[in-house]
Structure 1
Amino acid sequence: MNTMHYLDQFFFQLYPYIALAVFLIGSWVRFDRDAYTWRTGSSQLLSDRWLFWGSNLFHIGVIAILLGHFVGLLTPEWAYKPFISSGTKQLLAMAVGGFFGALCLIGLSMLIIRRLTQPRVRVNTAGRDWLVLWLLLAQLLLGLFSIVVSADHLDGAVMVQLGHWAQHIVTFRWGAADFVADVHWVYKAHIALGMTLFLIFPFTRLVHIWSVPLGYLRRPWQVVRRRGATLRYAGK
């Protein structure tokens, strides 16, 4: 067995479990021991320039992308084959993924530029925040590039292989790495970097994802006054 085989076995058979274990256990430990750090660390008070559009475009894009990956990779082939072919499913994934990937890229770029150009925001950006931003950007670019690569094989075969890999991982079956051993490097890099994001998740502000603020939608307006005088700002 050559070196590449061992690398495939580590990154696509063992590494996902290491990353997911750190993701789950690390998140629980952080919430239990450092609950006061469980927050987004919003910089809106420092500067709101580009924040509205950047944040909304990024979050809309990333939520759609994550849902698409979840459904696309974990839906067994037998479940969708009676209704749609693998090739058509791939074309649909490329179109939807490309659209929301573009939205996400625009939003993320705005957030990065904002942190680079706004002095107060830049000074209050920790090293781990930069790490997350650059890794997210790299992951997004890899995902968009994979769409370009996918245009060279529209029969859906590679998408089926990636689906088998994901389904083997979540069902704790050995042999998952064999499904991605011969795919294009961009898919491998996309998977490995995705697992790395899970790995660092508990140590960054990404933990706020666990706290989906559904109650925020029903939250009443807060009235903010300066020294009890004239109403200055009202918002959630």
Structure 2
Amino acid sequence: MSTYDQFFWLIYPYLMLTLFVVGHIYRYNTDTFGWSAKSSEFLEMSRLRWGSLLFHWGIIFVFFGHVAGILVPKGFYEAVGITEEMYHFGAVWFGGAAGVATAVGALLLLYRRSTVSRIRINSQKRDFLVLILLSVVIITGFTNTVGYTASGGAFDYRETIGPWFRGILTFTPDVELVTSAPIGFQIHIFSALFLFGIWPFTRLVHMWSLPLEYLNRNYIVYRRMQGKKLTNR
């Protein structure tokens, strides 16, 4: 095992997950009032509507897809009668649809934040970093699943990345399982772990504030003040 492999697939994951846990505790105790998404709906709503809906609904299905593919062992599916073909059909078509929705939503939100002047002025660099990083994670995950797996590639992430990640969580990681992964999968893992590391210091912390309720809530109504006209640019 090379020093490179030891760092990126053994030390780096624990470093990012430690930042994820400790960072949330620190952020909650030092910036309770900043624990929000800092809504910009009153600045621009039309582009936000589609971007937000696509991203939030898509990411929920992507999350459960990762639970099914990474955290649930392959042997479980064999035990309950789910064949390899059935699993890959769901991963490619349902997972692919969720990936497309999430990617389009993230790109719409990034485009909105970059082009609407009032939102851009009120944004921080980490807001752009999060959206760019999310786009990288989503696009690499989508291309790996649909592009590589659907094309009949010999690499099986359920027999390699899945056991490696479960080993990270149980403190028994086998680094060799992930060192042979195609570069696309490695980029996906690296960028996803980096996202976990910076998560506590961004607006993503709002996810822990009843995110499912957010998806079904009514839009906040902002009314014009009499004698004044609010416009969007």
Instruction: Name which of 123, 130, 134 aligns with 1:125.
Output: 123
Segment drifting more, 196-205 vs 106-115: 106-115
Q: Which has the higher mean CA deviation after the structures are superposed, 10-19 or 124-133?
A: 10-19
- Please list every run of 5 or more consecutive structure 1 residues that lacks an aligned counterpart in the other structure: 230-236
Write the distance in 1 (CA, Å) between the matches of 2:182 and 2:150.
12
Counterpart secondary structure, 1:98: helix
What does 1:68-147 correspond to in 2, within 5 Å?
68-82=65-79, 83-146=81-144, 147=146
TM alignment of 1:35-50, pairs within 5 A: 35-50=32-47
TM value normalised by structure 2: 0.86
Does the CA contact (< 8 Å) of 1:49 and 1:114 recur in 2? no
How far apart are the structure 1 equivalents of 2:215 and 2:177?
43
Which residue does the alignment assign to 1:62? 59
1 CA distance for matches of 2:165 and 2:213?
33
Deviation at 1:225, TM superposition (A): 7.7
- Structure 1: distance between partners of 2:68 and 2:98: 15
Residues 92, 47 of structure 1: CA spacing in aligned structure 2 closer, same or farther, 3 A cutoff? same
140-149 or 187-196: bigger deviation: 140-149
**Cα distance between partner residues in 2 of 1:109 and 1:218:** 22
Question: Per the alignment, do residues 183 and 33 of structure 1 end up closer, same or farther by CA in structure 2, a change over 3 Å counting?
Answer: same
Structure 2, unaligned stretches of length 5 or more?
227-233
Aligned residue for 2:179, secondary structure, equals coil
Aligned counterparts of 2:137 and 2:88: Cα–Cα separation in 1: 20
Q: CA deviation at 1:154?
A: 5.5
User: Separation in 2 of the partners of 1:219 and 1:17?
Assistant: 36
Q: How many residue pairs align between the two structures?
A: 224
Take 1:26 and 1:140, find their aligned partners in 2: how far apart are those partners?
23
In 2: Cα distance, 1:152 partner to 1:26 partner: 40
Flag the 1:96–1:154 CA change in 2: closer, same or farther, 3 A.
farther
Q: What TM-score results when the alignment is normalised by the length of structure 1?
A: 0.85
Q: Report the residue type matching 1:93 in the other structure.
A: A
Post-superposition Cα deviations, 1:168-188, rounded to whole Å, max 9, x if no partner, equal 11221132x211111110001
Identity of aligned residues (%): 37
1:52 equivalenced with 2:49 (yes/no): yes
1:9 deviation in Å? 2.1
